[in-house]
Amino acid sequence: MKISREEVIRVAQLANLELSGDEAEKYRAQLDAILEYIDKLNRLDVEKVEPMAQVLHGAPSGEGDEGGTRDDVLRPCDIGEAILEQAPEAKKPYFRVPKVIER
Amino acid sequence: MTSENPKKAGAADADNWTVAGIREALAARKISARELTQEYFRRIERENPRLNAYLTLSQERAYAQADRIDALVARGGELPCLAGVPTALKDVLSTKGVRTTCASKILENYVPPYDGTAVEKLDQAGAIFLGKTNCDEFAMGSSNENSAYGPVQNPAAPGRIPGGSSGGSAAAVAADLAVIGLGTDTGGSIRQPGACCGIPALMPTYGRVSRYGLIAFASSLDRIGPFARNVRDVAEVLSVIAGPDENDATSARVPVPDYGRALEEDVRGLKIGIPQEYFGEGLDAEVREKVEASIATLERLGCERVSLSMPHTEYAIATYYIVATAEASSNLARYDGVRYGLRVKGENLSEMYSKTRRAGFGAEVKRRIMLGTYALSSGYYDAYYLRAQKVRALIAADFAQAFSQVDAIVTPTMPTPPFPIGERVDDPVQMYLADIYTVTGSLAGITGISVPCGVTREKLPVGLQIFGNYFAEGRVLQIACALEKAGAFRQ
């Protein structure tokens, strides 16, 4: 067994997902099968391999490409009100949430 | 191409509209953009209840776009590339003023305040947005069965999956409920539905098309790309959406070549790599037969067949399901009931988060969030996430090695023909294996296209995949076009 019921419940809590008892067992069995499959990665010796986190086109031959990042320049973005209109609960200019700190 | 003989709108069979055909028919005033748009909405009204390809129709925006084109025609102005072209957009692409759900309950009523870059470019090129298409929830799936709004039917094979995750866009284009469509591909989600529905479907190189406004699943893998019913139209759409964008730091500042011209080039003398790992155990015999027939066609056209070995291919699915789920667990943390989408009330903030996410996400999305959270969690990071990133580098190195010897790589797109809806829903590992030939290119970041290569004896579409090196979209389109001209799509 690769993953226990307790670990599934802990992971669900970390991810802010609430699971019922039945769900915890169903996901445990499925995640177990997936992790069992993923185990094949342990067959490879990767000690000297550099991890690939991103596809970076470091120095493509393209004209005008310095291969770096753009300058960090402020630009106006005036869709604040439109964004707040999509909020489940808003009081301009804020998003409203339930009380976080109890008095 | 129907460009010499564009059909009239209103004809019951509108099957052969092409991008160029529409442009010419508009310029010659044989149709108006409004008539063509009306015709497509009639078709959707008739066929969509059966196919479930569209989740939201955007009539208001479509007719405004059509009227803009008709006014341009009336003024005698030059028509932009995609003038009047009926277009389907996958529902993970942000569209200003048009509901965008990601096929999830958590975004059921979300209306983006802006257009994504690819969407905006299509709009500027004159496309008509018919609506938003069904897909797997947050693009997570290989069969379109993970949509919160029901599965899509494969128009070419009733009762079978249309492929996933961009099943709605593929089905809409295949059934002529749109002339072109946009999908997104993270592990095969454009190419695989293209194969299932029997149409060309392109995943561009990572960074070729801006991801701005694409609602993120796995940011180091996500791409936007086109569906069409012929290769030239795929090239036309790519020409419009490709290019750098200051709103996406990962978009590449690499010039966009003339993809139309690439289609005219002869394939004689090109070296085509055939990696043995894609033709081994698990490949359906009829799929193999069809793919081999298309490879023989390429040889007849003067291509040289080169046998290859890409030894890390068998590790791709395992690698992908760590990398993609880890990124997804981070990206989907934003759906917490605060800023947009569903909110389920709770006694306190933490309870609101978990109740909202519990009610809003479907089973596969939760499964992947948990797998990704686990792979990133303290104590497991090195064993899973870091190791997967290293194997990802080995898979990319396999491709680098291959492309030092060949111009393109040809494989099956999918190991089997489209399977029956419901067959794999309870077995995630079997479902994931549907992407076994596509995830490799996703991890490496290269480009790949799926094109039809005939049907099985049961008339189920089979897809052939052509991988090209970074920014070699012109090359894969050229080979795809040669196969199309040689009749290999309908062999």
Calculate helix-pair angle for B387-403, B316-331, nearest 10 degrees. 120
Q: Which runs of consecutive H residues, i.e. helices, occur in B303-360?
A: 316-331, 349-360
- How big, in percent rounded to 5, are the helix, strand and coil portions of chain A? 40, 5, 60
Catalytic residue numbers of B read 90, 165, 189
Question: What is each CA distance from B82 to B19, B69, B209, B231, in whole angstroms?
Answer: 6, 10, 17, 15
Q: B-chain residues within 8 Å CB-CB of A97?
A: 338, 349, 352
Q: What is the pLDDT of residue B5?
A: 41
Q: Quick count: other Cβ atoms within 10 Å of Cβ B274? A: 17
Note down pLDDT in tens along chain B; length 491 residues: 333 344 444 444 455 899 999 999 999 999 999 999 999 999 999 999 999 999 999 999 999 999 999 999 999 999 999 999 999 999 999 999 999 999 999 999 999 999 999 999 999 999 999 999 999 999 999 999 999 999 999 999 999 999 999 999 999 999 999 999 999 999 999 999 999 999 999 999 999 999 999 999 999 999 999 999 999 999 999 999 999 998 998 999 899 999 999 999 999 999 999 999 999 999 999 999 999 999 999 999 999 999 999 999 999 999 999 999 999 999 999 999 999 999 999 999 999 999 999 999 999 999 999 999 999 998 999 999 999 999 999 999 999 999 999 999 999 999 999 999 999 998 988 999 999 999 999 999 999 999 999 999 999 999 999 999 999 999 999 999 999 999 999 98
In a domain, A21, yes or no: yes
pLDDT the model gives residue B277: 98
Q: Residue B265 corresponds to which amino acid?
A: E
According to the model, what pLDDT value does residue B397 have?
Answer: 97
Say what the pLDDT of residue A103 is: 63
The reply to whether residue A15 touches residue B369, judged by beta carbons under 8 angstroms, is: yes
- The confidence score (pLDDT) of residue B15 equals 58
State the Cα angle at B352 between A4 and B113, rounded to 5°: 115
Mean pLDDT by 10 residues, chain A (103 residues): 94 94 93 96 96 74 51 85 94 91 69
Q: Position B225: which residue type?
A: G
In a domain, A30, yes or no: yes
- Please give the span between the terminal C-alpha atoms of chain A, in angstroms, as a whole number: 45
Among B374, B392, B399, B469, pick the best mutation site for testing chain A contact (most A Cβ within 10 A): B374
Do the chains contact at A16 and B246, CB–CB below 8 Å? no
Rounded CA separation B140/B184 (Å):
11
Mutate to test the interface with A, among B102, B120, B247, B390 (most CBs of A within 10 A): B390
In angstroms, the CA B384 to CA A42 distance is 9
Phi, psi values for residue A70, rounded to 5°: -75, 165
Total domains in chain A come to 1
Q: Is residue A37 part of a domain?
A: yes
| H/E run at residue B191 | helix B191-197
| Residue A77, pLDDT score | 85
Tell me which residue in A49, A63, A79 faces B113 most closely, judged by beta carbons: A79
Q: What is the pLDDT of residue B23?
A: 97
Contact B235, B258 (CB under 8 A): no
CATH of the domain at A34: 1.10.20
- CA B183, CA B164: separation in Å to the nearest integer? 10
Would the CB atoms of B340 and A88 count as touching at under 8 Å? yes
Judging contacts by C-beta atoms under 8 Å, the chain A residues touching residue B392 are: 51-52
Q: Do A17 and B355 touch (CB under 8 A)?
A: no
Domain contains A34? yes
Question: Has residue A80 been placed in a domain?
Answer: no
A65 residue type, one letter: D
Please provide the DSSP assignment of B109-133 as one string.
T---SS--HHHHHHHHTT-EEEEEE
The alpha carbon of residue B486 is apart from the nearest alpha carbon of chain A, in Å, by 33
pTM of the model: 0.95
Partner-chain contact B354 A16, CB within 8 Å: yes
* Residue A14 lies inside a defined structural domain of this protein: yes
Query: Residue A66 domain-assigned?
Result: no
B212 touches A: beta carbon within 8 Å: no
Q: Which domains does chain B carry?
A: 19-262 (3.90.1300.10), 271-309+398-470 (3.40.190), 318-382 (no CATH)
Backbone angles phi, psi at B201, to 5 degrees: -155, 125
| Domain span holding position A30 | 5-43
Omega before A93 within 30 of 0, i.e. cis: yes
Q: Do B255 and A63 touch (CB under 8 A)?
A: yes
Are A86 and B110 a contacting pair at CB < 8 A?
A: yes
Chain A residues touching B329 at Cβ < 8 A = 15
**Residue B366 near chain A (CB below 8 Å):** yes
Q: Which residue in this structure is represented by tokens 């529409």?
A: B22
Instruction: State how far the Cα of B434 lies from the Cα of B69, in Å rounded to an integer.
Output: 41
In chain A, what residues touch B120 (CB-CB under 8 Å)? none
| Calpha distance B120→B213 (Å, rounded) | 10
Is A20 part of any domain? Answer: yes
